[in-house]
Amino acid sequence: MTARKTPAPDAKRCDAADEDSDGALFRTLVADAKPLETDRAPPQQTRPRPQATFARRDRHEVLRESIENEPGASEVEPGDRLLFRQASVSRATLRRLARGSFSRQAELDLHGLTAAEAREELGRFIAECVDRGLTCVRVIHGKGHGSGQAGPVLKRLADQWLRRCRAVLAFVTARPVDGGSGALYVLLRRAR
């Protein structure tokens, strides 16, 4: 048989005294409180629309990396026509792009920029266009007449950078009225 512990008589009095003092303290603190005038909760304010900050930043980072990676050298002559399409783009769409059938929604002129500046500007431009939902843009890289023996430097680099950019579905040399061999029509992927 186990012995039961019985509380000391003073312990009961302490608990009752604590309860009385707690109650008195509570009543003192809420003495000047006033009851609510209504039993309805205030209307909820509309929350701001969430922004996918990290997703947008990640997309920009991927675009920047795909353009920044140093491409290998390729042979591009001043009068060469450039042409690129991903497998998901039909030949008919590429022909329409080459004919100028798509409305160009923005353009970027790389004239006078160094290779590093052009790479940065092109990456920023493509990322902004994708964010804005633009699908067809024109990139003016120049014909390379001022490049001397090096040939068309920005033309060659733009060709390589755009081929590596995941947001670019296709590009083709522009029609003569839009810059000919010194410019490109670029078809972009829609942002998800």
> Is 0.85 topped by the overall pTM?
no
Q: Residue 146: is its pLDDT beyond 70?
A: no
* Listed residue (141, 134, 164, 144) closest to 65, CA to CA: 164
Tell me the pLDDT band of 72, cut-offs 50, 70 and 90.
very low
Per-residue confidence (pLDDT) for residue 12, from 0 to 100: 47
Q: Is residue 182 part of a domain?
A: yes
Structural domains of the chain, count: 1
pLDDT by residue (tens digit) across 111-128? 888 888 999 999 999 999
Question: What mean pLDDT comes out for the span 71-86?
Answer: 70
Q: Is residue 35 part of a domain?
A: no
Q: Is residue 25 part of a domain?
A: no
Q: Is residue 96 part of a domain?
A: yes
Q: Residue 148: is its pLDDT beyond 70?
A: no
Q: Is residue 12 part of a domain?
A: no
Assign residue 172 the CATH number of its domain: 3.30.1370.110
Q: Is residue 34 part of a domain?
A: no
Tell me the pLDDT band of 77, cut-offs 50, 70 and 90.
low
Per-residue confidence (pLDDT) for residue 11, from 0 to 100: 46
The domain in which residue 96 lies consists of 53-188
Q: Is residue 21 part of a domain?
A: no
Q: How far is CA 77 from the centre of its chain?
A: 34
Per-residue confidence (pLDDT) for residue 88, from 0 to 100: 92
- How far CA 103 is from CA of 25, 33, 106, 136, in Å, comes to 76, 68, 9, 7
Q: Is residue 69 part of a domain?
A: yes
Tell me the pLDDT band of 53, cut-offs 50, 70 and 90.
low
